[in-house]
């Protein structure tokens, strides 16, 4: 890589972060001043999409018609911090994304995420984890659409790890279809340990839903594994378990 190409990449990476910062400021103002949860979610969804539009990132979304019109649970592979912003921007605004509970300790971030429809799951304390799991089941029973990254974290190497059960327990209890989603390109754009993103085309593959009544709805464990295998097949990446 010559120095001109490197300089161009650095400039684009800084510009991409600027686009993200502007979206965050806009979303914070929305969280502070806009009444109505659905209205806030729609505006935050627009802000998330504009990050990619303004940065000139090509985003292809396939299979959007696989999303049920009623409430459902979407589960996606997790490869980068970009994943959450991407799905928030390109899925319908009715989805509330489930975020790791550690974000509660960052007041401004917690406030923004909570006001934009996100929910939180404690991963370290058993009592907190049980409480949050009950809240997710309650949301599912209430007909809310939920978005999860069931791996819980991401790593630098390619592949899909074990899925945590929360998304699938909520789906079974709420009798909600589960829609697996394969995200491609975000690990290359901003892998773990890199500070500046690299301009990369991104793809969201919305895969066919697994509906209540399917034999894999017999248990959350079976449902998790079927979802994981569908995502693995779409990605063509290694199975890390």
pLDDT in tens, 172-206: 888 899 999 999 999 999 999 999 999 999 999 99
In a domain, 99, yes or no: yes
Give the integer Cα–Cα distance in Å for 214 and 210. Answer: 7
Task: Name the band, by pLDDT with cuts 50, 70 and 90, for residue 144.
Answer: confident
Q: Is residue 107 part of a domain?
A: yes
Task: Evaluate if residue 39 carries a pLDDT over 80.
Answer: yes
Query: Burial letters for 68-81: b for 16+ Cβ neighbours within 10 Å, e otherwise?
Result: eeebbbbbbbbbbb
Instruction: Find the distance separating the first CA and the last CA of the chain, reported in whole Å.
Output: 35
Q: Is residue 168 part of a domain?
A: yes
Give 204-226 pLDDT, tens digit per residue.
999 999 999 888 888 999 999 99
pLDDT exceeds cutoff 90 at 119? no
In a domain? residue 220:
yes
Q: Could you give the C-alpha distances from 122 to 89, 104, 132, 187, 236, in angstroms and in order?
A: 25, 9, 7, 25, 31
Domain assignment present for 177:
yes
**CA dist 159 → 78, 123, 151, 236 (Å):** 9, 22, 11, 8
Looking at the structure of the chain, the number of domains it has is 1
The CATH number covering residue 51 comes to 3.40.1130
The verdict on residue 240 lying in a domain is no
Is residue 200 one of the residues assigned to a domain? yes
User: What CA–CA distance (Å, rounded) separates 115 from 30?
Assistant: 9
- Tens digit of each residue's pLDDT (9 = 90 or more) over 55-110: 999 999 999 999 998 899 999 999 999 999 999 999 999 998 887 767 777 778 87
- Residue 37: how many other CB atoms lie within 10 Å: 12
241, part of any domain: no
Give residue 90's domain range.
3-235
| Of 38-52, 68-82, 120-134, 156-170, the least confident | 120-134
Q: Which residue has the higher pLDDT, 149 or 113?
A: 149
């Amino acid at each position: 890589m010559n120095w001109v190409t490197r300089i161009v990449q650095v400039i684009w990476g800084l510009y991409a972060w600027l686009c993200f910062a502007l979206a965050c400021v806009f979303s914070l103002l929305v969280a502070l001043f806009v009444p109505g949860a659905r209205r806030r979610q729609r505006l935050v969804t627009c802000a998330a999409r504009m990050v990619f539009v303004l940065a000139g990132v090509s985003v292809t979304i396939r299979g959007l018609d696989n999303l049920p019109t009623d409430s459902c649970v979407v589960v996606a592979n997790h490869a980068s911090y970009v994943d959450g912003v991407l799905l928030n921007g390109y899925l319908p605004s009715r989805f509330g994304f489930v975020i790791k509970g550690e974000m509660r300790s960052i007041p401004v971030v917690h406030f923004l995420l909570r006001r934009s429809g996100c929910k939180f799951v404690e991963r370290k304390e058993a009592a907190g984890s049980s409480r949050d799991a009950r809240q997710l089941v309650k949301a599912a029973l209430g007909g809310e659409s939920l978005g999860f990254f069931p791996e819980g974290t991401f790593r630098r190497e390619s592949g899909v790890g074990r899925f945590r059960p929360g998304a699938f327990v909520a789906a079974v209890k709420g009798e909600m279809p589960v829609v697996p989603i394969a995200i491609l390109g975000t690990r290359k754009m901003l892998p773990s340990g890199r500070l500046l993103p690299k301009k990369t085309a991104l793809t969201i593959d919305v895969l066919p839903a697994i509906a209540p009544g399917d034999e894999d709805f017999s248990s959350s464990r079976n449902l998790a594994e079927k979802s994981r295998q569908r995502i693995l097949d779409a990605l063509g990446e290694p199975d890390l378990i």
